[in-house]
Amino acid sequence: MTYLTSLSVWLIPLLIGFVVLVASFKRVPTYETFVSGAKEGFSMAVSIIPYLVGMLVAIYVFRASGAMDALVGAMAPVLSWVGIPADIVPLALMRPISGTGALGLMTDLTAVHGPDSYIGRLAATLQGSTDTTFYILTVYFGAVGIKKMGDALKVGLLADLVGMIAAVVVVSLVFG
Amino acid sequence: MINMIWAGMLLIGLIYAGVNGTMAEVTESVFTGAKEAVTICIGLISVLTFWLGLMKVAEAAGLLKALAKMVHPLARRLFPEVPKDHPAMGYILSNMTANVFGLGNAATPMGIKAMEELKRLNGGKEEASRSMVTLLALNTACLTLVPTTVISIRMSYGSAAPTDIVSTTILASGCAMLGAICIDRLFYMRRARKERKKK
């Protein structure tokens, strides 16, 4: 496992080295090519701003009003009935909406219950195995100007649900 | 649907705040939300600029094409609309690889680039194509090998074995990925059937 962790530290430097080495070998004008590609970065980041402002304001309003907590409170009994602990419900609901919000909740659960508790491990697995669907949707589609999203949101949220159920089942089998 | 969810979150939040007396917090959250969004985008500038530059070098060196060719047999089934050797496939694969190794900030620029190529393949329409939905589904539920952030948080709280959640994360995210592919296919088939009926 430490092997896997150190792999992720080495991966980016290795990738950069490999790309530059192969390109130099093939006589690509590396620096000039880099600059011409990098030029797009600024305008791309700026073009995402309106999409992300719209989405985050809606999410923040929903959360600050207390409606989010009320929703979690209403769903907790149903979910704990199927074996999902009530403590984990806010994290599961926050995960697709806000990356930093979910990270905060996961850190809180780890601090309160201890990293090696059942809840602590479940929170870690849940955090690691799903992603911020709304953010990805907003940023990816916003950057290239996709207005009609088709089934993307439905598919993304259902996939999150599968990930959550899988996390609960796997953690209860391995550590339960 | 996105319009309904967006308006719904805002309206429910505002009404709930009115009933619950949390209007002051909501007013403040409007501005913190907007600020947070801009902060994220400003932070993205550095990452996007660097990775788009490096990806251009990789493309010029023919590495993206080589990568696309290598995994074509598998990727062809997931993204049947993308022709062989097309740069979109190279970007899709770089995006997936970055996701699998938990390099979140490298995955975003490659994902955006892949979306751009897919839009071009789709004739520049403002509508999400089948492959775009598949790519999005794979991004929201992707196999994760090393959840770096999670491990570091567990370490800072004194876990006896901070990495013992790696195996459960691999299993759970693997299930999520398979689920995402199946759900994506189901929705696609439903859509295709509807369109056939229309004709």
Q: Give which of A7, A8, A60 to mutate to test B binding, by max B Cβ within 10 Å.
A: A60
Nearest CA-CA partner of A69 in B7, B2, B36, B25: B25
CB nearest B128 (choices: A16, A150, A163): A150
Given a cut of 90, whether residue A120 has pLDDT beyond it is yes
Predicted confidence band at A84 (pLDDT cuts at 50, 70, 90)?
confident
> Tens place of pLDDT for every residue, chain B, 199 residues?
678 888 999 999 999 999 988 999 999 999 999 998 898 888 888 888 988 899 889 889 988 888 777 777 878 888 988 887 788 888 898 888 888 776 667 788 889 999 999 999 999 899 999 999 999 999 988 888 777 778 888 888 888 888 888 889 999 999 999 999 999 999 999 988 888 887 7
Inter-residue contact B28 to A64 (CB < 8 Å)? yes
The distance of B77 to chain A (nearest Cα, Å) reads 18
Chain B nearest C-alpha distance from A166 (Å):
5
Indicate the domain borders of chain A.
1-48, 66-175
Q: Between A and B, how many residue pairs show a Cβ–Cβ distance under 8 A? A: 353
Nearest to B119 among A110, A133, A144 (CB): A144
Give the model's confidence band at A140: pLDDT under 50 very low, under 70 low, under 90 confident, else very high: very high
Instruction: Decide: A107 and B155 in contact? Cβ < 8 Å.
Output: no
Task: Please give the average per-residue pLDDT across A42-68, as a whole number.
Answer: 88
**What does the pLDDT read at residue B161?**
86
Residues β-bridged to residue B127: A148
Asked if B165 and A129 count as a contact pair (C-beta separation under 8 A), the reply is no
- Whether B163 sits inside 8 A of A4 (CB atoms) is yes
Read off the pLDDT band of A8 (50, 70, 90). low
pLDDT at A129: 85
Contact B176 A45 (CB under 8 A): no
pLDDT at res. B102: 67
How large is the average pLDDT for residues A36-48? 86
Express as a percent the part of chain A with pLDDT over 90.
30
CB-CB neighbors (< 8 A) of B188 in chain A: 151
Identity of the residue in B128, B137, B167 whose CB atom sits nearest the CB atom of A148? B128
A146 and B CB contact within 8 Å? yes
Partners of A148 in the β-ladder = B127
A66: left (phi > 0), else alpha (psi -120 to 50), else beta? left
The SS3 call for residue A138 is helix
Among B26, B112, B164, which would you mutate to test the A interface (most chain A Cβ atoms within 10 Å of its Cβ)? B112
Look at residue A7 in the predicted model and tell me its pLDDT.
Answer: 62
Spatial contact of B172 and A167, defined as CB atoms under 8 Å apart: yes
Q: Give the pLDDT score at A6.
A: 64
Higher pLDDT, A20 or B81: A20
* pLDDT tens digits, B21-53: 899 999 999 999 999 889 888 888 888 898 889
Query: Residue B171's pLDDT is what?
Result: 92
Residue window 11-30, chain A: list those with CB within 8 Å of chain B.
11-12, 16, 19-20, 22-23, 26, 28, 30
For range A25-34, the mean pLDDT: 94
Crossing angle between the packed helical segments B104-121 and B87-100, to the nearest 10 degrees: 160
Q: How far apart are CA A111 and CA B135, in angstroms?
A: 35
Task: Judge whether B94 and B67 are in contact, CB under 8 Å.
Answer: yes
**Cβ of A110 under 8 Å from any chain B Cβ?**
yes
Q: Residue B103: what pLDDT?
A: 67
Residues of B in contact with A49 (CB under 8 A): 37-38, 41
pLDDT at position B194, please?
86
Spell out which residues of chain A touch residue B5, defining contact as CB-CB under 8 Å: 153
Residue A2 has pLDDT above 70, yes or no: no
Residue A51 structure tokens: 């999409």
A13 by Cβ neighbours in 10 Å (0-12 / 13-18 / 19+) ranks as exposed
Kindly report, residue by residue over A87-102, the tens digit of the pLDDT. Answer: 888 888 888 888 878 8
> Is the CA virtual torsion B57, B60, B63, B67 positive or negative?
positive
What is residue B26's predicted lDDT score, i.e. its pLDDT? 94
Question: In one letter, which amino acid is B168?
Answer: T
pLDDT at residue A124 is higher than 70: yes
> Considering only CA atoms, which of B62, B127, B51, B44 is closest in space to residue B95?
B51
Query: What per-residue confidence (pLDDT) applies to A3?
Result: 61
Q: Determine the Cα–Cα distance for residues A59 and A45; give it in Å rounded to an integer.
A: 20
CB A126, CB B176: distance < 8 Å: no
Mean pLDDT of chain A: 86
Residue A83 has pLDDT above 80, yes or no: no
With CA atoms as reference, the chain A residue closest to B60 would be: A28
- Cα–Cα distances (Å) from A9 to A55, A113, A118, A124, A137, in that order, read 32, 29, 28, 20, 28
**pLDDT, position A148:** 87
CA atoms within 13 A on the CB side of A172: 10
**B67 and B90 Cβ atoms separated by less than 8 Å:** yes
Res. A37: pLDDT tops 60: yes
Rounded mean pLDDT of A134-142?
A: 90
Between CA B138 and CA B91 the distance in angstroms is 14
Residues of A within 8 A of B106 (CB-CB) are: 12
CA distance B82 to chain A (A): 18
